[in-house]
Structure 1
Amino acid sequence: MAYRVGAILFLSGLVHLVVLVASGTTWEGPLSYRKAMTFGLSFGLTLATLAWATSFLRMNERTRTTLLGAFTVVSVVEVALVTMQVWRGVPSHFNFETGFDTLVSMTLALGGAVIIVTVAGFTAAALRSTSGLSPSMLLALRFGLVVLIGALAVGAIMIADGVRVSRGGDPQLAYTTAGALKPVHFVAMHAILVVPALAWLMRFTTWPERRRTRVIQATAVLYAIAVAGTWVVFG
């Protein structure tokens, strides 16, 4: 189900890419179709990635279903609300102009909190796991999930700063302030795909497990440097 929903969300992002190009409207700003596009693509890819990556973890099936189910539902809610606001021609985040827009903005923020809780649950399971996985895959999953937590923390900072500035009476500055950390958020978000995918692909080589683990260790260090470098440049 998570794969199917992820595919639908990803497709919605592609549809909005077509709409964006065909309409000839701006790629910038909170009212652009680009926002619906990026949310659809990002949540679709992240949902499918999380479903795939966490399938390797040994954990209680009820817990897994609850966490993944919550992440799936909140992904749909986030994409649907952002898309709705784009088509209404109003900002989705930091918008407190009306009671309805305030409800949408606060629901999006609450959705972010739910996402953090679900990912934290999977991260805890990965950190507790000691058997059933090769050392290279276990390291890749732990690293990817921990960095994903970091990406979500950056997202929380973006929302908190944006709300503070917007409540202070300058919504346009709120979008600029929050948007400055988007590159860091993007790079950190996809460690959960890149590093475990590399560990999975190396299973088809003749390399011994010790070499695979060293490759993952080196990749993790390089990825961490990339995230830190992005923070220095854009943060």
Structure 2
Amino acid sequence: MTLQELRRTGVRPVERVAYLLGAVLFASGLVHLVVLVVSGTTWEGPLSYRKAMTFGLSFGLTLATLAWVTSFLRMNDRWRNLLLGAFTAVSVVETTLVTMQAWRGVPSHFNFETGFDTAVSMMLAAGGGVIILTVLGFTVAALRTSSGLAPSMLLALRFGLFVLLVSLGVGALMIADGVRLARGGQPELAYTTAGGLKPVHAVAMHAILVVPALAWLLRFTTWTERRKTRVIGAVAAGYALVVAATWLVFG
């Protein structure tokens, strides 16, 4: 597809790259699912291929989703390219580092056994910080967008991005707590404690797909925009309750 064709279809070059690499990361996750099943190795613990699988699937899906939902936002093209480009690059780096450590047979996070492993762990933590900044940038853009979007879709985008920030905040807490424990000589406790918040992290992460996708599907109904917005508001409230309940159970 040429650049002119991309422009006619409304798909920006940076979004096309994000979709392509998102598909590659998702495929990597599927490959590691097969490896995990065929090898018969453990699904638990920091050395499992499950980490390579979940990072590939989650980052692949989230990258493609973010490219799609942010395409609705009115923002400066340079800022869009910078934010989405940074998120894309970090998604690839994070997944690659986790996958590399899985194949090396060593933990990817909270691993300070060697200088190389320490560098990997710190790069993963730094990558998390970049991800938070990029999503924060898109959230600000969504809050500043006040025209050109149906109210139901605008509400869905704002809610999805806000809950994604909550998910990333939970991830930051997991990393901070794990690093503290690992540096304190309790690496096993670090993996156990940090892992306890995974359900909250996962549930909150995918609101950015679920709620905007529903708002997009509602476009094909004959409902009034007011009714669509009420439905999205109710779904958002329900999703928030699910996240809160998950926190109460696993937090």
Q: Per-residue CA shift, 1:77-121, capped at 9, x if unaligned?
A: 000000000000000000000000000000000000000000000
Q: Per-residue CA shift, 1:117-136, capped at 9, x if unaligned?
A: 00000000000110000000
Find 1:101's aligned residue among 101, 106, 117.
Answer: 117
Amino acid at match of 2:219: R
Residue of structure 1 in register with 2:201 after alignment: 185
Residue of structure 2 in register with 1:114 after alignment: 130
Residue of structure 2 in register with 1:207 after alignment: 223
Find 1:223's aligned residue among 235, 239, 242.
Answer: 239
Find 1:84's aligned residue among 100, 111, 121.
Answer: 100
- How much does 1:201 deviate? 0.2
- How much does 1:60 deviate? 0.5
- How much does 1:62 deviate? 0.8
Residue of structure 2 in register with 1:10 after alignment: 26
Residue 171 (str. 1) matches residue 178 (str. 2): no
Residue of structure 1 in register with 2:47 after alignment: 31
Amino acid at match of 1:205: T
Q: CA-atom RMSD, angstroms?
A: 0.3
Residue of structure 2 in register with 1:47 after alignment: 63
Q: Per-residue CA shift, 1:115-173, capped at 9, x if unaligned?
A: 00000000000001100000000000000000000000000000000000001101010
Amino acid at match of 1:181: L
Amino acid at match of 2:206: H
Structure 1 runs of 4+ off > 2 angstroms? Answer: none
In 1: Cα distance, 2:66 partner to 2:90 partner = 13
In 2: Cα distance, 1:90 partner to 1:171 partner = 12
Amino acid at match of 2:18: A
Amino acid at match of 2:72: F
* Identical columns (%): 80
Amino acid at match of 1:148: L
Where in structure 1 are there 5+ consecutive unaligned residues?
none
Amino acid at match of 2:76: N
Residue of structure 1 in register with 2:210 after alignment: 194
Q: Normalising by the residue count of structure 2, what TM-score does the alignment of the two structures yield?
A: 0.93
Paired positions, count: 235
In 2: Cα distance, 1:204 partner to 1:168 partner = 55
Amino acid at match of 1:186: A
In 2: Cα distance, 1:120 partner to 1:131 partner = 20
Residue of structure 1 in register with 2:79 after alignment: 63
